[in-house]
A and B are shown apart, each in its own frame.
Chain A
Amino acid sequence: MSSTVTLSCLRKIYDGNHVVKGIDLAVAGGEFVSLLGASGCGKTTVLRLVAGLETPDEGSIDVGERCVCDAALGTWVPPEDRRIGMVFQSYAVWPHMSVLDNVAYPLRVRGERRPERRARAGEVLALVGLGDLGARRPAQLSGGQQQRVALARGLIMEPDVLLLDEPLSNLDAKLRIRMRRDIRRIQQETGFTVIYVTHDQDEALEISDRLVIMDAGEILALGTPAEVRDHPFLSTT
């Protein structure tokens, strides 16, 4: 249940603006890799390219043995068939569904029966500390609670690869520490591959196998927490 993710020469241009400038990155199966970098440097764009929500102007992406996208060959696997989960920076919880239905949605897509998926959704909700809010509508939740709904929806999928875009940014410091340990624990238990975007260096250093430091669409540095701990980018920001 884990896949490698390989980005080769990946490039994305928005209206003549080079947002991702030829990135190469090989993530091992079951690895936890964090992307760090200044706001606007292209982290979300990289995740969306891997997800398949954007098409690259150049380069290719392989997930496991499968090439999901190659700009030169015109290969293209639609996002819903990539077995990749994603937790969005802007949460993207559906206002017309209850919290429980939001979280259970990936199981519904898979065709699991209602009692099973509701039970499972309840468990995952409890894990993110929202056990008793399942019946509510998202509009009745705080920002941080909505963010945890989004996280629960990503976790319940148990995909081959999970993309997390600042999933804890809106939580208080204590909860953030607890939640990141939970994410790491679940990831290690289930063994899926994670690409994790964050602005919090301590968070990245604590839970990642490797860190990628990005700047203006390029990879500035890449290494284990021990290797990049003293990188100037980390000490100055």
Chain B
Amino acid sequence: MSRLGFWVAAALVVIVGILPLARVAWEGAGDGWWDVVLDEESRSALVATLKLALATTALALLIGGAFAWLSMRTDLPGRRVLRTLLTVPYIVPPYISAVAWINLANPQVGLLNVLLGEGVLNVYSFGGLTWVLALSFYPYVLLTVRAALENSDPALEDAARMSGAGTWRVFRDVSLPLMRPALATSGGLVFMATASAYGAPALLGAPARIDVLSTRIYESLTSDLDGLRQASALATLLFGFALVPLLVRARRHAVVSGKASRPSVVRLGRARFPVVLGVWSFVLIAVVLPALAVCGTAFFRIAGDFSFDNLTSENFNVLQRREIRDALLTSVGLAVGAATVAVVLGGLVAFLAIKTRHRGRGLVFGLSAIPLATPGTVLAIGLILLWTRPIDLRNTVWIMLIAYVAKYVALAARAIGEGLGTIDDVLSDAARMSGAGGWLRLRTIWVPLVLPSIVAGWFLVFMPSFSELTMSLILAGPGLDTIGTRMWELQEYEGPTAASVLATVVLGLVITSNIVLRVVSRGRYGI
């Protein structure tokens, strides 16, 4: 059974996730690659992407790193609540946060500009785009650095303090170097995520004429006759960005010991009051305000007037529109389908990697993670190239299902793998000695024992699939809509109210799923 399982898993992983990427490379790197890449517009898009990725990474590192240190190593009041609140943006798709910030800081009618004076803040700018993306991605940094600090030996900091170093010097001389590998790893991730983001740059960048690679790719796809080939060539550049996290990780050095003793805290002393003020202002601006902006727009008759009389649920009537109901159903169906398939395939891959000694098992596990680290645009183009002939799946839900499974199967594999890792093989051996064959052991021993991880993996795939936008915009043809693409159209053509209603629905579902996830995994997953 293990042989058959291995080849089935390997074939599926390669067909679903690797072949499309190979197709993009093949198509894109062919003749004319230089023409496309040296084109004036492509060059400026490349430069803009680099600038945006660098700026966003810098800001995300600053925010994430500072909060990680403050919440792990100081006597900041309310650390536990802050740890949860500050990771909330992790589960909010960036394009929803872009919608929120358009509601807040659109130069004419943004809620903040109504307060501060028209035109004071302009979200349609390089700065606005950087801000929105950094707010979406700093939790990567926060979570990674926090984990590193959790495992590092606080005695190192104690020693510095005993040598007479003050708070700032302890931070600079000891804590910062300890955090450096985690900062590098997560910085690489933010860099990649920014370069591959499509929704927010398209919503915020277009009015300011900021063109990045991902938006260029989408334009080529929709406008040019020769668009697919051109898009593929540009996609190879984006592919290059995906390598950045790998390069950064290769130079990681181990300064963090595995020993976890009780972390001692740095007293903030006189800095306490300003720091508290700063942190909570940030929570207010970065977490509470955007949420209010979305829900506020969804629940009030006139945006910005938060009076009780203005409260309404009428806006939610858009949910009764046929095309929106259909989009909602499509998204739920696709997300359920993708999560279920991903759990089966990911579970198989994880089981083979962790519980068998089959040759090549680690390779399959590694391959399954590649699409997750690849920009969605690239994967989507590859799928279109691959599923044209002889089987034509373009503009169907099936190609979208494949896309979601390919992209997120690694999340399920990782969660289930972690679960399997904690289970002693002797429990399965005991079932063998009771006479149970492979399938029976799978059904009566392994699955029940790793069920919490399976459920966690399911939700980890369900959530991003439900709110996916980048790939969906490329793959969903006419007459086929997900909640993401529908919301996109509403935002572009109908104004913020209807889009905010959909955003509220997405947020509600994602937050509920997250709570379920946290409960079933006993706090191991979810925020």
Chain A residues near B (Cβ < 8 Å): 51-53, 78-81, 83-86, 88, 90, 92-96, 105-106, 108-110, 150, 153-154, 157, 163
Contact = CB atoms under 8 A, between A and B. Distances in A.
Given A94-B445, A96-B448, A96-B449, A153 B434 contact: yes
Contacts of A109: 431, 434-436, 440
A150 B430 CA distance: 9
Interface in B40-72: none
A83 B431 CA distance: 13
Nearest to B449: A96
Contacts of B444: 105, 108
B426 A85 contact: no
Given A78-B437, A79-B433, 19 more contacts: A53-B432, A78-B432, A79-B429, A80-B437, A81-B435, A85-B433, A86-B429, A86-B430, A86-B433, A88-B430, A92-B429, A92-B430, A96-B448, A105-B431, A105-B444, A106-B434, A108-B444, A109-B431, A150-B430
Contact of A90 (B424, B432, B435, B440): B424
Contacts of B426: 88, 90, 92
A52 to B, nearest CB: 8
Contacts of A88: 426, 429-430
Contacts, number: 65
A181 B436 CA distance: 29
Interface of B: 424, 426-427, 429-437, 440, 444-445, 448-449
B432 A80 contact: yes
A170 B186 CA distance: 49
Contacts of B433: 51, 53, 79-80, 84-86, 154, 163
A225 B494 CA distance: 92
Nearest to A150: B430
A92 B434 contact: no
Contacts of A163: 433
B25 to A, nearest CB: 40
A80 B448 contact: no
A95 B449 contact: yes
A121 to B, nearest CB: 12
A150 B434 CA distance: 11
B424 A92 contact: yes
A106 B435 contact: yes
Most buried by B among A83, A106, A153, A163: A106
A177 B426 CA distance: 27
Contacts of B445: 94
Contacts of A95: 449
Contacts of B448: 96
| Interface-central residue, A109, A110, A154, by most chain B CB under 10 Å | A109
A61 to B, nearest CB: 15
Contacts of A83: 435
A93 B429 CA distance: 11
B424 to A, nearest CB: 7
Nearest to A154: B433
A19 B435 CA distance: 27
A81 B429 CA distance: 13
Contact of A92 (B427, B436, B437, B440): B427
Contacts of B424: 90, 92
Contacts of B440: 109
B337 to A, nearest CB: 28
A52 B432 CA distance: 9
Contacts of A108: 444
Contacts of A80: 432-437
A94 B432 contact: no
Nearest to A79: B432
Contacts of A94: 427, 430-431, 445, 449
A92 B427 CA distance: 5
Contacts of A53: 429, 432-433
Contacts of A154: 433
A183 B436 CA distance: 24
B443 to A, nearest CB: 11
Nearest to B436: A109
Contacts of A105: 431, 434, 436, 444
Contact of B434 (A52, A78, A96, A157): A157
Contacts of A86: 429-430, 433
Q: Which 3 A-B pairs have the closest CB atoms?
A: A92-B430, A106-B434, A86-B433
A9 to B, nearest CB: 24
Contacts of A93: 430
A150 B444 CA distance: 17
B420 to A, nearest CB: 14
Nearest to B435: A109
Nearest to A93: B430
B245 to A, nearest CB: 34
Contacts of B435: 80-81, 83, 106, 109-110, 157
Contacts of A84: 433
Contacts of B431: 94, 105, 109
A50 B60 CA distance: 58
